């Protein structure tokens, strides 16, 4: 015990500076002046109504899609102290002082920013070069439509985030299968794959296509495992 105390405790970590830089640029491009414009833009006029219902504890039936995405947007309003008192009646209406615009747009912006390093990691998990991974991430970083969707109170960036998370988690699960099957890491990525797929479907029904994609790839991998004579039953 005394011998341990005489030596310093050293922790080493591998830090991918590419991922750090991409994350920083993603956060800067999505969070800078997030409250601008301080007015209702496009489908914020619809999602804002759902958020107000949640804030006021009013029961409603939403037939436009699953509720999970709207609940995530409402979480931003809850964290910002939104009381739900705003009339969402037209696009272009100026937000009143009681509407925490920055908080309402925060989760979509974070999802859009984190999708950039995930795109980088997906390409590297597919065993392409780091140059190819940087190219894919930079395309997502500079794509105007993705920037716009991420900076507004919309569901698209949340959906893309969980779609990419599902694919990345499955690839990490598959790669860990080769060297450490049934390990803690193996189980973590497997469970996270299922959670991400469920969140994708819970945001928009089109998330089921990502679920089917992961199932299809998993079926091919399972077929190869079944034919592997070196593995036990």
Mean pLDDT of the region 202-226: 92
Residue 232, pLDDT score: 77
- Cβ neighbourhood burial of 31 (10 Å; 0-12, 13-18, 19+): middle
pLDDT tier at 61 (50, 70, 90 boundaries)? confident
Measure CA 58 to chain center. Answer: 28
Segment 10-16 shows an average pLDDT of 83
Position 181 scores a pLDDT of 83
The pLDDT of residue 96 is 92
- Within a 10 A sphere around the Cβ of 74, how many other Cβ atoms? 22
Average pLDDT in the chain: 91
Q: What CA–CA distances, in Å, run from 159 to 72, 84, 131, 135, 228? A: 11, 24, 26, 22, 36
What CA–CA distances, in Å, run from 130 to 17, 35, 112, 121? 12, 35, 21, 9
Residue 6 lies in a domain: no
Answer yes or no: is pLDDT of 1 > 60.
no
- In-domain check, residue 64: yes
Between residues 106 and 230, the one the model is more confident about: 106
Does residue 10 sit within a domain?
no
- Find the angle CA(139)-CA(164)-CA(217) to the nearest 5 degrees: 115
In a domain, 233, yes or no: no
Within a domain: 7: no
pLDDT at 157 exceeding the cut of 80:
yes
In-domain check, residue 142 = yes
The answer to whether the beta carbons of residues 180 and 62 sit under 8 Å apart is: no
Q: Which domain holds residue 71?
A: 17-28+36-227
Q: Tokens representing 101?
A: 């615009």
> Residue 14: what are its φ and ψ, rounded to 5°?
-95, 120
Residue of 119, 118, 89, 86 whose CA lies nearest to 104: 86
Number of domains, the chain: 1
Question: What is the pLDDT at residue 178?
Answer: 79
Look at residue 42 and tell me if it is in a domain: yes
Is 188 inside any structural domain? Answer: yes
């Amino acid at each position: 015990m005394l011998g341990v105390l005489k030596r310093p405790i050293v922790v080493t970590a591998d830090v991918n500076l590419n991922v750090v830089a991409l994350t920083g640029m993603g956060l800067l491009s999505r969070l800078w002046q997030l409250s601008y414009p301080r007015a209702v833009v496009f489908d914020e006029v619809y999602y804002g109504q759902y958020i107000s219902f949640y804030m006021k504890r009013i029961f409603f039936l939403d037939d436009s899609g699953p509720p999970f995405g709207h609940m995530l947007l409402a979480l931003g309003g809850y964290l910002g102290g939104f009381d739900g008192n705003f009339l969402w009646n037209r696009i272009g209406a100026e937000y009143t002082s009681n509407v925490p615009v920055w908080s309402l747009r925060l989760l979509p912006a974070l999802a859009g920013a984190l999708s950039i390093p995930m795109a980088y990691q997906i390409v590297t998990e597919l065993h392409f070069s780091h140059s190819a991974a940087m190219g894919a991430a930079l395309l997502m970083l500079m794509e105007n439509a993705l920037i716009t969707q991420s900076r507004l109170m919309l569901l698209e960036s949340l959906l893309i985030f969980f779609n990419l998370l599902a694919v990345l988690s499955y690839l990490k699960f598959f790669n860990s299968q080769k060297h450490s099957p049934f390990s803690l890491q193996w189980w973590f990525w497997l469970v996270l794959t299922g959670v991400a797929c469920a969140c994708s479907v819970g945001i928009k029904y089109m998330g089921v296509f990502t679920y089917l994609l992961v199932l299809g790839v998993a079926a091919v991998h399972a077929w190869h495992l079944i034919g592997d004579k070196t593995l036990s039953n």
